[in-house]
């Protein structure tokens, strides 16, 4: 990936910040996009000319277009897009109002679409590119009080598959990652002294993910090592969604070999 140019959204914190760090370590130049000017300045200050900071609200297409234009002006191309930016909130289903619903849908679905489409227009001219979108296990393994977030991430997964089939003719690959709980400011449960340990009882690996681990998966999907993979979703959940941890029965169940031998 040496010498390639990446655009990373939600770049000032958490997973996005870790993706920028990983891409720079891979020898890439990066356009780091975030809605927070102050956070973005702090996150990118140490990279010098390798990283260009672009402030944008991805729910506004014109701001996304401006960030894409900045990438072209500064680096001349876009080889990789990490469409990572997203927001969440927890509210009981019956209390979610239109304003709250629309904001999450506007950022997570509309915003991701804006980024994918605008970056793909550039990639299509070069007839190559790799796009990785950040979805979530919430796309299908839903959590209570997150109906708007769950719905938005399900939409991202469908968008990825749709974009992948439409953009394959331009040699553009589109894939997704689906993390569960990662140590970021949005995953408040990871810092909860009571709720955190309770949550981890359901995770076979018994720990939360580090942002760098998610960034490593993004880098792999963006690299030539995954050159024949498109329209796919990589789940990063420590085994959370594998199944239900059931206790062993106190005695052999009727009809089993053990029950028959006891008889």
Q: Per 3-state DSSP, what percentage of the chain is helix, strand, and coil (rounded to 5)?
A: 50, 15, 35
Q: Using the structure block, give the residue that is written with the tokens 């997203």.
A: 86
Q: How far is CA 97 from CA 60, 103, 136, 144, 148, in A?
A: 21, 10, 23, 16, 10
* Catalytic, out of 47, 149, 199, 228: 149
Contact 131, 112 (CB under 8 A): no
**Count of CB atoms situated within 10 Å of the CB of 44:** 23
Task: Assess whether 149 carries a catalytic annotation.
Answer: yes
β pairing state of 172-179 and 129-134: parallel
Instruction: Enumerate residues 6+ apart whose C-beta is below 8 A from 222.
Output: 1, 6, 80, 82, 130, 132
Query: Among residues 60, 57, 66, which one has the least CA distance to residue 85?
Result: 57
User: What's the CA angle centered on 69, arms 66 and 71, to 5 degrees?
Assistant: 115
Contact 30, 7 (CB under 8 A): yes
User: What's the CA dihedral at 160, 161, 163, 164 to 10 degrees?
Assistant: 110
Residue 214 three-state SS? helix
Catalytic residues: 149
């Amino acid at each position: 990936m040496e010498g390639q140019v990446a655009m990373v959204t939600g770049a000032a914190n958490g997973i996005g910040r870790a993706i920028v760090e990983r891409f720079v370590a891979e020898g890439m130049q990066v356009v780091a996009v975030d809605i927070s000017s102050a956070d973005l300045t702090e996150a990118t200050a140490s990279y010098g000319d390798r990283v260009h900071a672009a402030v944008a609200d991805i729910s506004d297409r014109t701001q996304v277009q401006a960030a894409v234009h900045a990438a072209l002006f500064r680096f001349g191309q876009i080889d990789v897009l990490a469409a990572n930016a997203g927001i969440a909130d927890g509210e009981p289903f019956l209390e979610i109002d239109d304003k709250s619903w629309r904001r999450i849908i506007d950022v997570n679905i509309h915003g991701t679409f804006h980024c994918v489409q605008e970056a793909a227009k550039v990639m299509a001219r070069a007839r190559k590119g790799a796009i990785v979108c950040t979805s979530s296990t919430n796309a299908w393994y839903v959590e209570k009080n997150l109906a708007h977030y769950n719905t938005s991430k399900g939409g991202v997964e469908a968008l990825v598959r749709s974009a992948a089939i439409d953009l394959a003719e331009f040699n553009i690959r589109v894939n997704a990652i689906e993390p569960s709980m990662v140590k970021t400011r949005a995953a408040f449960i990871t810092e909860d002294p009571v709720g955190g340990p309770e949550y981890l009882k359901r995770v076979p690996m018994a720990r939360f993910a580090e942002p760098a681990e998610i960034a490593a998966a993004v880098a792999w999907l963006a690299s030539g090592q995954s050159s024949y993979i498109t329209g796919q979703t990589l789940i990063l959940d420590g085994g959370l969604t594998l199944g239900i941890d059931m206790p062993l029965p106190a005695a052999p169940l009727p009809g089993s070999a053990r029950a028959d031998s006891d008889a």
